[in-house]
Chain A
């Protein structure tokens, strides 16, 4: 890889300052994504600020919910009793991702910011607006079986490939960040990632130098009826073709509250308010779930090779809701 400077941050403020001061600096979490990308010459930071020694890995009960440190490992998060008990959807989503070894290294902050798996993004010989703005989008008219069906632009059709964020979105999580000036912000997960528009090089709404410090989960009524479904090309160790985070609050067989978030269909976790509206007040039944699924996929705009995601998405929504409501 290209030579870079390695810095170990002593505290959060110093870490944020160090990155903010250098436009080509980046944070280093578990390194499972950024180091791969540096080896492939896709990411070219000249400075890595290692944040893994910061005291930000606690998982604790907080104001009725749970606060998860940004540097807690994916494995520790998924297996924490508070998460297993109160947010099983999150556990399912995390363990659906990557492999045991990777989850042992990966941090929650790094997971949120993992980059797309678009093949053109990975190949520096190919055009890619996300990697090199202005070069064009290789996937738009190229191989796009794994690409977006929602919210894409002709500048970029990539998806956000992660699993964890889909569950966090369904659970109304909030990302806590801290800037170089010490200013803290709380960003709802749904506003954390963004659509590509004309600037696909930017995956999230984080400012340069802003450090993720924690992810807060509010008290949740979804623990009893939630399910994370991941459809992929093999049984494990593959990114989703389509995934669905489904969460229901049921009251006497009727849906009181619902969340339907699709993964790997857009540049960000894709929540369907239409599907949720179709569910609320109705019965927890396959028929009602089908209507919700139709609503969820109604606005899809598939590309040449990913038309299947529309039908697959519908079926996945139905299946996830069936599982969540324990009808299947």
Chain B
């Protein structure tokens, strides 16, 4: 019987967070610290003609003003997990500040003012005068969609079967175009770095999902060995993908610190966050579905075009999951990209998936209405029993049970099919459903455990915790397999002095790092067994590592717990003050034989005020199947967060660009809307646990992204059911429903 795994556990870092003891990047201090404030440009494309910093330099407290004229050139960028080179000769092309007079996008950094205080730097930043030679820009994806092309990385996905012919022959067809605006992550914590050099050694406190990625990036940028760079990021106040790649500010901060030979702090303002990292790209999706009268899909053509920057490719893989959701013999699902004079987009929670599934799942709803088949029934008719893409069996797939349970909890059977047929007084009631999908990814990761004779353990791995509860879940896993009370285990992350872990992205941390922690704990047990059995009188003689387990300071036979040795005793006998084991977990080759995915079903009720177009999501039931749930408390919190974000994406979020200037016009939280408490009503999240021995030893799949994937489509479908109006362009604001 597990002591911790599968049980509700409050966050081990919760008290530190609510009492302010948890330190975020911008809160670190260093002696003689100076403050940098970024100056943003005011046009979208061209060159800096002249930059006058004299007045700023004369302002009180100013130490130096860096521009492209005096900033040293940075070395080539390293390729990191989230910035892979497209071929061996090519460097990462992501944007770096102050490297030339070129302007690639509006609100690009053009100077860094460093002063003794933050306010002095901010004030002087207003005194920097810049003039430009402007060139014609394009920021409107609609205007250039005609020149979209396939991403150059990877070969374009092959069509399955003969999609065009099958579409022509299909007895029932629907075809529509869907749009998603640019959206920004808007984590609460602004991005920040505090950099300090000692000779050729750099210590940097950064807000990042990937300390090793930032380390590689800075080492090559400054031409120093990786060991010389320590990246520290113990707490992250939300990132959602905005800190997967090294953004431009860590190198900018480290550059200033190196030049000035003193520690520098740079913190983005909310406005600077809108071009200081990537965003969910503007995405246009054309989708056609062909089916038999029975509802069976015969053809799917799903074509996405989204923007990227003019200097770098980004591929959101919008249509990637379309290939694996429904059984359909004929399919074409390319994602194309088109250059715009904006920053490069990046991964944003449920990247590609939530965009692609918005279009696909709305189109499925449209098809259900064309066929006059219940939308949930249509999904069951096309249930993919095996992976339609590879033909492989699923390692596990409890989606059918998700549909069933969700429908039952929601009361789906009472749904009236016709739009506008359900009411609550003056309000129109709509019920919508959609499917959610995400991968069950795993990457190599290393964890280290030190067990001491006093029964405490120190566990480390350089992952991060951007909010999902990584500190807690790793502590639980270590405590479980070391057989210790949870209070005796301390887990640390977010520091390159710890063993390497992959970036926290793609919902793969528990599967990757959790497997490493699990493996390290077992390795500690194995080590103790070897040591114990050096003693001829050991009661564990003849046992192998898989025969034993640890519990409350004893190493014992699983089959006969009365046969045991004291862990502290073994260490004492061997004169050891600790036992340390490092373990690298890797995805097992077994996975290759299967398709591994996480699934979910969402059921949403909206109430729409038909007069003033106001939509309220009054009820959301989300059932997900993502393997084993290690900490139900944090897991529910993840999925609830996913639902809330889905509400935001469906109803509120949009980054607005004035294409005349190529400039974002709502880079702040007064104009960029995200849900507030009053927008969130009943949200219920349920799990259908899967016993999956294939994905990894813990049996966990990804769940952080999964929680939001189907929600925007479910809401849009519910709005259609309520109003009879199909809004295909997010967000669904009141003006679109009049």
Using a CB–CB cutoff of 8 Å, the interface residues on chain A facing chain B are: 1-3, 41, 117, 119-120, 122-123, 125-126, 138, 141-143, 145, 229, 231-239, 241, 308, 311-312, 315-316, 318-319, 328
A235, B658: Cβ atoms closer than 8 Å: no
CB-based nearest A residue for B119: A1
Residues of B within 8 A of A232 (CB): 734
Distance between B673 CB and nearest chain A CB, rounded to angstroms: 5
B414 at the interface (CB under 8 A from A): no
- Given A2-B123, A126-B663, decide whether A231 and B676 contact each other with a Cβ distance below 8 A: no
B412 at the interface (CB under 8 A from A): no
C-alpha spacing A260/B362, complex, angstroms = 41
Residues of B within 8 A of A142 (CB): 658, 660, 665
A315, B611: Cβ atoms closer than 8 Å: yes
C-alpha spacing A231/B609, complex, angstroms = 11
CB-based nearest B residue for A138: B658
Which 5 A-B residue pairings sit nearest by Cβ, starting from the closest? A308-B735, A235-B678, A125-B42, A236-B678, A119-B665
Residues of B within 8 A of A231 (CB): 612-614, 734
B679, A235: Cβ atoms closer than 8 Å: yes
B538 at the interface (CB under 8 A from A): no
Set B42, B665, B734: member contacting A120, Cβ < 8 A: B665
B658, A312: Cβ atoms closer than 8 Å: no
- Given A234-B676, A235-B616, decide whether A143 and B658 contact each other with a Cβ distance below 8 A: yes
A234, B119: Cβ atoms closer than 8 Å: no
Interface mask (B611-627 → A, CB under 8 Å = 1, otherwise 0): 11110100000000000
Distance between B130 CB and nearest chain A CB, rounded to angstroms: 10
Using a CB–CB cutoff of 8 Å, the interface residues on chain B facing chain A are: 40, 42, 119, 122-123, 126, 426, 611-614, 616, 651-652, 656, 658, 660-661, 663, 665-666, 668, 670-671, 673, 675-679, 733-735, 738
Residues of B within 8 A of A316 (CB): 611-612
Residues of B within 8 A of A117 (CB): 670-671
Residues of B within 8 A of A234 (CB): 651-652, 673, 675-676, 678-679
A312, B126: Cβ atoms closer than 8 Å: no
C-alpha spacing A119/B336, complex, angstroms = 32
Distance between A74 CB and nearest chain B CB, rounded to angstroms: 17
CB-based nearest B residue for A119: B665
A311, B665: Cβ atoms closer than 8 Å: no
CB-based nearest B residue for A120: B665
A235, B676: Cβ atoms closer than 8 Å: yes
CB-based nearest A residue for B674: A234
Residues of B within 8 A of A141 (CB): 660
- Given A41-B126, A236-B676, decide whether A119 and B666 contact each other with a Cβ distance below 8 A: yes
Residues of B within 8 A of A328 (CB): 426
C-alpha spacing A293/B660, complex, angstroms = 36
Residues of B within 8 A of A229 (CB): 612
Distance between A25 CB and nearest chain B CB, rounded to angstroms: 19
Residues of A within 8 A of B42 (CB): 125
A1, B123: Cβ atoms closer than 8 Å: yes
Residue with the highest number of chain B CB atoms closer than 10 Å, among A125, A142, A233: A233
A and B contact pairs by CB, cutoff 8 A, 18 listed: A2-B123, A41-B126, A119-B666, A119-B671, A122-B668, A126-B658, A143-B665, A233-B734, A234-B652, A234-B679, A241-B734, A308-B734, A308-B738, A312-B612, A312-B734, A319-B611, A319-B612, A328-B426
Distance between B107 CB and nearest chain A CB, rounded to angstroms: 8
Residues of A within 8 A of B426 (CB): 328
Residues of B within 8 A of A125 (CB): 40, 42, 663
CB-based nearest A residue for B613: A312
C-alpha spacing A119/B611, complex, angstroms = 27
Residues of A within 8 A of B738 (CB): 308, 311-312, 315
A315, B612: Cβ atoms closer than 8 Å: yes
CB-based nearest A residue for B41: A125
B677, A236: Cβ atoms closer than 8 Å: yes
Residue with the highest number of chain A CB atoms closer than 10 Å, among B42, B652, B735: B735
Set A3, A123, A138, A145: member contacting B735, Cβ < 8 A: A145
C-alpha spacing A2/B613, complex, angstroms = 43
C-alpha spacing A127/B581, complex, angstroms = 63
Extra contacts, 16 of them, besides A232-B734, A316-B612 (Cβ < 8 A), are: A41-B126, A119-B656, A119-B665, A122-B671, A231-B613, A233-B673, A233-B734, A234-B676, A236-B677, A241-B734, A308-B734, A311-B738, A312-B734, A315-B611, A315-B612, A328-B426
B126, A2: Cβ atoms closer than 8 Å: yes
C-alpha spacing A197/B677, complex, angstroms = 40
Distance between A75 CB and nearest chain B CB, rounded to angstroms: 18
C-alpha spacing A143/B667, complex, angstroms = 14
Residues of B within 8 A of A138 (CB): 658
B611, A123: Cβ atoms closer than 8 Å: no
Residue with the highest number of chain B CB atoms closer than 10 Å, among A123, A237, A318: A123
Residues of A within 8 A of B677 (CB): 236
CB-based nearest A residue for B735: A308
Set B119, B123, B652, B665: member contacting A123, Cβ < 8 A: B665
Residues of B within 8 A of A126 (CB): 658, 661, 663, 665
CB-based nearest B residue for A237: B676
Residue with the highest number of chain B CB atoms closer than 10 Å, among A120, A126, A234, A312: A234
Residue with the highest number of chain B CB atoms closer than 10 Å, among A145, A308, A318, A328: A308
- Given A142-B658, A238-B673, decide whether A1 and B614 contact each other with a Cβ distance below 8 A: no
Distance between B734 CB and nearest chain A CB, rounded to angstroms: 6
Distance between B106 CB and nearest chain A CB, rounded to angstroms: 8
CB-based nearest A residue for B665: A119
C-alpha spacing A232/B734, complex, angstroms = 8
C-alpha spacing A316/B613, complex, angstroms = 10
C-alpha spacing A208/B613, complex, angstroms = 42
C-alpha spacing A241/B612, complex, angstroms = 11
C-alpha spacing A95/B725, complex, angstroms = 32
CB-based nearest B residue for A2: B123
Distance between A35 CB and nearest chain B CB, rounded to angstroms: 13
C-alpha spacing A126/B666, complex, angstroms = 12
C-alpha spacing A315/B426, complex, angstroms = 13
Residues of A within 8 A of B119 (CB): 1
A233, B670: Cβ atoms closer than 8 Å: no
A233, B733: Cβ atoms closer than 8 Å: yes
CB-based nearest B residue for A123: B665
Residue with the highest number of chain B CB atoms closer than 10 Å, among A117, A232, A239: A232
Distance between A140 CB and nearest chain B CB, rounded to angstroms: 11
Residues of A within 8 A of B679 (CB): 234-236
- Given A126-B663, A234-B651, decide whether A241 and B735 contact each other with a Cβ distance below 8 A: yes
Residue with the highest number of chain A CB atoms closer than 10 Å, among B611, B660, B661, B666: B611
Distance between B615 CB and nearest chain A CB, rounded to angstroms: 10
Residues of B within 8 A of A2 (CB): 123, 126
CB-based nearest B residue for A142: B658
C-alpha spacing A105/B122, complex, angstroms = 26
CB-based nearest A residue for B59: A3
C-alpha spacing A2/B660, complex, angstroms = 30
Residues of B within 8 A of A319 (CB): 611-612
Residues of A within 8 A of B663 (CB): 123, 125-126
Distance between A6 CB and nearest chain B CB, rounded to angstroms: 14
CB-based nearest A residue for B425: A328
C-alpha spacing A117/B663, complex, angstroms = 17
Distance between B675 CB and nearest chain A CB, rounded to angstroms: 7
CB-based nearest A residue for B609: A319
Residues of A within 8 A of B666 (CB): 119
C-alpha spacing A231/B614, complex, angstroms = 8
C-alpha spacing A305/B613, complex, angstroms = 17
CB-based nearest A residue for B426: A328
Residues of B within 8 A of A308 (CB): 734-735, 738
Residues of B within 8 A of A3 (CB): 123
Distance between A114 CB and nearest chain B CB, rounded to angstroms: 12
C-alpha spacing A229/B738, complex, angstroms = 17
C-alpha spacing A164/B40, complex, angstroms = 36
C-alpha spacing A10/B716, complex, angstroms = 57
C-alpha spacing A236/B613, complex, angstroms = 15
CB-based nearest A residue for B651: A234
C-alpha spacing A126/B679, complex, angstroms = 32
Distance between B271 CB and nearest chain A CB, rounded to angstroms: 8
